[in-house]
């Protein structure tokens, strides 16, 4: 169903966007810290630094290797810095917390999706029921018209049952547009119409060898049994 497909796509986009925003925020913080650290480390030590001042008193000059032999290192040993001001284990705890938050968010989205699907299933079930009601009414009117015509062809002046023939007030219902019928509020299935349809179609098949869904009068019962798919609307779909 298009509505469900769009809902799923929205959920996926929301999850991806949230993950991307979190990664972007973490990246931005780390980049700022790295820029500040690199700026400080790239500034050479001056005379105000006590350690550097002591080296100068011993004859050291900037850019000169360390040691009496002059073979020592020129550049300072690189620093292995841990970013952040938290204690040991804090990063792991923060990562675990972020994963829990993400899992909670996904669980919430899953529950929302299930609620949407259940609502859609109920809507489809109600729509199907209304369509079945309308189909029964249409088939009943069709059967009544066919019964009246076939009975009169056999010389009958009145129906076997009063409702076997279409009554004048019922003819108006047949002229109502199908779309307008679907908009009417019909909360309960019309059982009486369903039972009438079963009885009337059985009468048409038995007395006239006629099937309303085939729209055919068969030669005999064997012909009807062999060539008609069945005695219900569903058999002819």
What number of other Cβ atoms are within 10 A of residue 110's Cβ?
11
Single out the residue of 86, 216, 129 nearest to residue 229, CA to CA.
216
- Average pLDDT on 196-213 reads 93
pLDDT value of residue 114:
78
Residue extents of the structural domains in the chain: 2-85, 128-236
Give the model confidence (pLDDT) of 151-195 as tens digits.
Answer: 999 999 999 988 899 887 655 455 445 445 544 444 444 447 888
pLDDT of 210 over the 80 cut = yes
Q: Are 9 and 47 in contact (CB under 8 A)?
A: no
**CA atoms within 13 Å, Cβ hemisphere of 41:** 13
| CA dist 42 → 20, 48, 53 (Å) | 32, 16, 19
Q: How many angstroms separate the Cα of 104 from the Cα of each of 17, 39, 107, 145? A: 16, 40, 5, 62
pLDDT digits (tens, 9 = 90+) for 66-121: 666 666 676 666 666 555 555 566 677 878 888 888 888 888 888 877 777 777 77
- Residues of the chain with pLDDT > 70: what percent? 61
- Look up residue 116 and give its two tokens: 């949407």
Q: Is 60 left (phi over 0), alpha (psi -120 to 50) or beta?
A: beta
Q: Are 91 and 84 in contact (CB under 8 A)?
A: yes
Whether pTM > 0.75 for this model: the answer is: no
Tell me the per-residue pLDDT of 79-90, one tens digit each, with 9 for 90 and over. 665 555 555 666
Q: For position 149, what pLDDT does the model report?
A: 94
Backbone dihedral angles phi then psi of residue 211, each to the nearest 5 degrees = -115, 125
């Amino acid at each position: 169903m298009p509505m469900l497909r769009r809902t799923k796509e929205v959920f996926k986009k929301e999850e991806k966007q949230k993950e991307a925003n979190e990664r972007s925020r973490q990246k931005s913080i780390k980049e700022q810290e790295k820029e500040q650290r690199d700026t400080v480390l790239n500034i050479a030590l001056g005379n105000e630094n006590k350690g550097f001042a002591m080296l100068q008193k011993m004859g050291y000059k900037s850019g000169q290797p360390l040691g009496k032999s002059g073979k020592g290192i020129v550049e300072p040993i690189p620093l292995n810095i841990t970013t952040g001001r938290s204690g040991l284990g804090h990063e792991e705890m923060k990562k675990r917390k972020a994963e829990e938050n993400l899992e909670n968010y996904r669980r919430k989205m899953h529950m929302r999706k299930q609620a949407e699907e259940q609502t859609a299933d109920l809507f489809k079930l109600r729509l199907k029921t209304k369509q079945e009601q309308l189909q029964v009414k249409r088939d009943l009117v069709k059967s009544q018209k066919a019964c009246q015509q076939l009975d009169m062809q056999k010389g009958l002046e009145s129906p076997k049952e009063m409702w076997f023939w279409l009554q004048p007030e019922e003819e108006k219902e047949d002229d109502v547009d199908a779309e307008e019928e679907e908009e009417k509020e019909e909360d309960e299935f019309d059982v009486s119409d369903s039972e009438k349809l079963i009885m009337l179609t059985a009468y048409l098949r038995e007395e006239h060898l006629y099937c309303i869904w085939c729209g055919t009068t068969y030669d005999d019962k064997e012909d009807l049994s062999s060539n008609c798919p069945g005695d219900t609307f569903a058999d002819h779909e």
